[in-house]
Amino acid sequence: MREAEAERRRKAAAVIEEVEQRFSTPTALLRGIADAMVEEMERGLRADPHAPLKMLISYVDNLPTGDEHGLFYALDLGGTNFRVIRVQLGGREKRVVSQQYEEVAIPPHLMVGTSMELFDFIAAELESFVKTEGEDFHLPEGRQRELGFTFSFPVHQTSISSGTLIKWTKGFSINGTVGEDVVAELSRAMERQGLDMKVTALVNDTVGTLAGGRYVDNDVVAAVILGTGTNAAYVEHANAIPKWTGLLPRSGDMVINMEWGNFKSETLPRSEYDSVLDFESLNPGEQIYEKMISGMYLGEIVRRILLKLAHDASLFGDVVPPKLEQRFVLRTPDMSAMHHDTSHDLKHLGAKLKDILGVADTSLEARYITLHVCDLVAERGAHLAAAGIYGILKKLGRDSVPSDGSQKQRTVIALDGGLYEHYKKFRTCLEATLTDLLGDDAASSVVVKLANDGSGIGAALLAASHSQYASVE
């Protein structure tokens, strides 16, 4: 009996040791990943057809300054819900005078219906929202209402207010919209509703977060979303974009939507768990970086390691819990709850294992091993995300102290997304790793801050900074 137990422990130790080796991210490796990120950013900006990073030109060359005033609307369509937002802006002194929003669930049949049905439904909701405008909101005489449209699906942007749909994702499958201009579709639907409103900005949610962040803090140069998925956008010098062929914008700047979830590189510390997760996913070979760092996948990587431990080392008893075989049964919020258990006998973690996997009584050893696995997976994810941010700072030349003794520039990264906001150990680890990569001197002028729900209001702010009336004032 004792020998069997010793053998089981040996097997568990062997699995853990292999995971520790494969998931290891020493600082030198993270620097290599950041360099690879810079290299891939440059390839994407040259329009190299094989570049994994698309580095999409957003056509946003005027970020909000804080001087914007007037009434602006936003529509945020990114999943099974959409929200309609209105803000009254009062210029530099008053900022956001008032804001209101409504969230609307999209009926499931419309997610797989026709383009016209979906956009008519949205326009009708928008129209009834406009009707509830109270006295806090004022539209100057003779002006058209203006709207910023956050559309979180892959789009080929053709101007600040037009873009064609590349493909639907997230459970939407609508015939006829792919290859069409989504702004034209929405505008036609608003016309059919008799709603006089002009879409002045079509924005990706990450670009919206960047705009919302910049409105609050002028030193924001990049936005990173770490939620179910992950992405980043940043402000690039327009003359550093070889694929830009038009006139250089007056501001000299251009916001780039990196679509960084698709980053891939030989430097990434991928394990067998990552390879199989990718192979069994809906999009094999794509979004490799996202599958290692985002909320959709962290819990699933933990599940796969626990399954291996259950098979090889009977971690949860002689029978492998059937629920542990189910893909995506362990969600990242549950992983986070287990990871933050500070009780001496890990009773909360044990309760989670019981709820999710149906294992009634786990040994203390099994609970501590589970905690360690959560730690390894979250830590690797946070390290890799920090390396990506460090890569953006390197690309912008903001990763070091000026050598000529000139004043250090303050640099702010706006972060949004539930993973960063709610998973405290992930957040703390990411911030400490970024400081480590920058070194104390450079890190003292880099600030990472939560830009909560930048994307909703961000689109309204971009509608304001790209308003048809902006040059009149």
**Edge-to-edge, what's the strand order for the sheet holding 230-237?**
56-57, 253-257, 230-237, 220-226, 411-416, 446-450
**Taking a C-beta distance cutoff of 8 angstroms, is the pair 232, 204 a contact?**
no
CA separation for the pair 203, 465 (Å, rounded): 13
CA distance 51 to 48: 5
Asked about 205 being catalytic, the answer comes back as: yes
Query: What is the sign, positive or negative, of the torsion defined by CA atoms of 317, 323, 326, 332?
Result: negative
Which residue in the list 94, 136, 167, 170 is annotated as catalytic?
A: 170
Handedness of CA 202, 207, 209, 210 (dihedral sign): negative
Q: Report yes or no: 278 and 296 within 8 Å, Cβ to Cβ.
A: no
Residue pair 344/364 in contact by the 8 Å Cβ criterion:
no
Between CA 329 and CA 340, with CA 335 as vertex, the angle to 5 degrees is 160
d(CA 379, CA 293): 9
Closest CA to 79 of 176, 209, 170: 170
Q: What is the DSSP string of 33-83?
A: HHHHHHHHHHHHHTT-TT-S---EE--------S--EEEEEEEEESSSEEE
**Torsion angle defined by CA atoms of residues 262, 268, 274 and 277, in that order, rounded to the nearest 10 degrees:** 10
Helix (H) or strand (E) holding 86: strand 81-90
Name the residue type at position 254. M
- What whole-number distance in Å separates Cα of residue 417 and Cα of residue 224? 8
Catalytic residue among 120, 181, 205, 274: 205
Round to whole Å and give the CA distance between 140 and 71.
9
In the chain, the amino acid numbered 370 is T
Count of beta carbons in the 10 Å neighbourhood of residue 183: 24
The identity of residue 58, as a single letter, is: S
Minimal CA–CA distance to 44: which of 232, 221, 242? 242
From the centroid of its chain, how far is CA 306? 27
**Bridge partners for 162 per DSSP:** 159
Paired tokens of 417: 């997304």
In Å, how far from its chain's centre is CA 319? Answer: 38
Active site residue ranges? 170, 205
